[in-house]
Chain A
Amino acid sequence: MRMPLSAAIGLFMTALFFAAAILAPLIAPYGMAEIVGQVWEPMSRDHWLGTDNIGRDLLTRMIYGGRTTIFVATAATLLSFSLGSFLGFTAAVAGGWVDQVLSRFVDLMMSIPSLIFALVVLSVMPVTLPVLIAVMGLLDATRVFRLSRAVAVDITVMDYVEAARLRGEGRGWIIFREILPNALSPLVAEMGLRFIFMVLFISTLSFLGLGVQPPLADWGAIVKENREGIVYGIPAALVPAVAIAALAISVNLVADWILNRTASLKGGRGD
């Protein structure tokens, strides 16, 4: 199937954001914390996006902020994904009490909204990047656990998995050759959605002042720094917020496409 235009745009934009994050020191016009002008200068030739609340170049701040946001979100996604899918598959294949214990614990974790849970934990933990990544990753692993367990349970009841067990295949073959190839597409699509959620999560925490701490800044923190300007009609705070939305929408478009492709493959499996 050809890639639809929306997915192509999404993929291009996502790649652009990641490239900017990785190459930040090379492409940023000024230093991250360098004060280069007046407070809240409007957009100009020297400062494409203007300056921020203490006169730093906003484009530079945005590029470095994106680097932080994307790094934290990616790390948390990887953590939540590897942990969640490992435990989810284990629960589905092992069944019995292992499944019961894991599933009930996840039910419990999910009975408290994750933002609230994160705030409760962050009230006593030191707010550093590793702690943020760990808290976000662990809380979100519950969702990945639910999905990967559901997908794997759907697959383990298939006759071809039973046939493999009857044949005498080991657990490794069953997980990696029978289950995983069939579970991959929905999980990859979910990974996109989890990444978006992580971007929104870290931005929200930073916006509340409980995420990335100065002098480092991510997009959420840049919104917070410049929020006072809004009431004077200065849109500096909107710039990072728009970047967050653009990244989220781009990844969403790609994830949607992957999900649709999975659905049509499923349709082809029957008659």
Chain B
Amino acid sequence: MTDAVLDVRGLRIEATVCPPGEQPRDAVLVHDATFRLGKGRVLGLIGESGAGKSTIGLAAMAYGRGEVRITGGQILLNGRDLRAAGPAALRGVRGRQVTYVAQSAAAAFNPAIRLMDQVIEASLRHGLMGRAEAEARAVALFRTLGLPDPETFGRRYPHQVSGGQLQRAMTAMALCPRPGLVVFDEPTTALDVTTQIDVLAAIKTAIRETGVAALYITHDLAVVAQIADEILVLRHGRMVEHGETSRILHAPREAYTRALVAVRRAGGPGRPPAAPILSVEGVTARYPGLRQDVLSDVSVSVAPGRTLAVVGESGSGKSTLARAITGLLPPAQGRIRFAGRDLSPALAGRSLDDRREIQMIYQMADVAMNPRQTVRTIVGRPLELYFGLRGAARDARVQELLDAIELGEGYGDRYPAELSGGQKQRVCIARALAAKPRLILCDEVTSALDPLVADGILRLLADLQAREGVAYMFVTHDLATVRAIADSIAVMHRGRVVRQGAKEAVLSPPFDDYTDLLLKSVPEMRTGWLEAALATRRMGSAGH
């Protein structure tokens, strides 16, 4: 077959890894990857962290980061084996026939050079066009990608434009030399959901208009469903399944793919409200030394044994609300009532029992546990502090808690570094439960985890709620999580609650403008969603 841009056969990639406390050893990152990519086609590479998707993406440019080495197979780009090419020949291919869009454009652009010079650099270096022609092409690409003031955009430095704009500029940089193939490495993962949809649409338009082939790497099936013609599912460096996008989404063959597709299930209906255990009333707060309020006049409430989801984008004030409730950031105005009493605004004024009854679980379980303490110490400490449990009684209770979070025997003696990401978050849950709290604040507890692991955590939290009757305040940016777990929802935007109520009511029309935008921006796992979403958005803005 001659029309393949990229033809990968039996690719094997290894790296030297240094696990803590052990001798360095070689590990295989990718086993026997084989796939073909035709002209103008888009292949989505999908998998969890560590699945090898970025490694394969860079291997399409015959590039390995750090200690990564390509040790077997062939990488045919336009029929030529890159593994057989020398360094000079590879330089002739990179930036000319195949280009790269990184996850963090903010880090991938050189801070000392104007955007235009970076965008056209590869085209000039490879002698593909003159400066004037290259600049004209760059401006045209800026326009296609929907960047503001395309004529003058390139005169700016990277730090002078927003994250979403940089990601589009990086796409322009990749497309400028008219390559046959572009590798997109999670280009929208770092963006807020309402920004992501615009960048995604811009990338899709640019791919279509230039007719370039693309490898699109992501962990988000809904994103890849919008942009890819075919999907390759990876796990632990092995290929799981490869097929047309609609086939993978609607008729997955492998159990792992089925689990990935099913992960975004809708939750049950919200349970009816009850007299609140926590009510935040008219809270306004700001960080010391800053003029802007981070929270203005926020009122929310949580019912006993129920879940309130506080949803918003970065900078909306949702995490700050959790800090105000804990007493870490005393509000300037308003009050916080808990179980029928007023809580002291500052942490120092709260009794040990106040502290016991409200527990917190963090986003990064890694840094939420002292690396020098064993799981037994971490989970046992609240038992000592709050209930005076010592020795065997404490250890027995620790084991009960570890059983409750589905961690088996022998984990008590481990240190956090010896646990997987999901296990760490489970230990944090056990530590919170040890206090027998009536409310747990969950700050983005699943957003650092892979979808399947996150799903397991959400299920565990739901089970524990049914058993222990504890209430949750769930801070998150992820609407799929909200749908799965919430009884009631508060939507936050720029420090205010713009909409709140029972789950069904909040998620049903009529919407306020922001909630509407937010809901429409969350990718859905069906092809054609992106176009439909953009169309309704245009209609909406035309109507105003």
Contact = CB atoms under 8 A, between A and B. Distances in A.
Classify A-B as touching or not with yes or no (CB < 8 A): yes
A177 B350 CA distance: 22
B436 interface: no
B355 A168 contact: yes
A167 B350 CA distance: 11
A5 interface: no
A264 interface: yes
Contact of B326 (A166, A177, A267): A166
B370 A182 contact: yes
Interface residues of A, number: 22
B328 interface: yes
Contact of A166 (B328, B369, B416, B421): B328
B505 interface: no
Interface in A232-271: 264-265, 267-271
Interface stretch (A118-126, A156-164, A214-222): A156-164
B66 to A, nearest CB: 13
Interface string A175-207: 001100110000000000000000000000000
A1, A168, A182, A264: which has the most chain B beta carbons within 10 Å?
A168
Q: How large is the interface on B (under 10, 10 to 19, 20 to 34, 35 or more residues)?
A: 20 to 34
B370 A268 contact: no
Contact of B370 (A160, A168, A267): A160
B347 A270 contact: no
A41 to B, nearest CB: 52
B368 A167 contact: no
A271 B356 CA distance: 31
B268 interface: no
A169 interface: yes
B355 A264 contact: no
Contacts of A158: 367
B381 A167 contact: yes
Interface string A139-161: 00000000000000000001110
A160 B416 CA distance: 12
Given A166-B326, A168-B352, A269-B416, A264 B369 contact: no
Given A159-B367, A269-B417, A167 B355 contact: yes
A180 B321 CA distance: 31
Contacts of A166: 326-328, 347, 355, 360
Which DSSP category, helix, strand, loop or mixed, fits chain A's interface? helix
A162 B326 CA distance: 11
B385 interface: yes
A182 B371 contact: yes
B20 A159 contact: no
Contact of A162 (B49, B328, B431): B328
A158 B366 CA distance: 10
Contacts of A265: 20, 371, 417
Contact of B372 (A168, A182, A271): A182
Given A265-B20, A267-B20, A268-B21, A165 B370 contact: no
A154 to B, nearest CB: 11
B372 A159 contact: no
A158 B367 CA distance: 6
Interface in B411-464: 416-417, 421, 431, 435
B265 to A, nearest CB: 27
A84 B54 CA distance: 46
A165 B21 contact: no
B85 interface: no
B364 A159 contact: yes
Nearest to B350: A168
Interface string B308-352: 000000000000000000111000000000000000000100101
Given A158-B367, A166-B347, A168-B352, 4 more contacts: A166-B326, A168-B350, A168-B355, A269-B366
24 contacts: A158-B367, A159-B362, A159-B364, A160-B367, A162-B328, A166-B326, A166-B327, A166-B328, A166-B355, A166-B360, A167-B355, A167-B385, A168-B352, A181-B372, A181-B373, A264-B18, A264-B20, A264-B21, A265-B20, A265-B417, A267-B20, A269-B366, A269-B416, A270-B366
Interface of B: 18-22, 49, 326-328, 347, 350, 352, 355-356, 360, 362, 364, 366-373, 381-382, 385, 416-417, 421, 431, 435
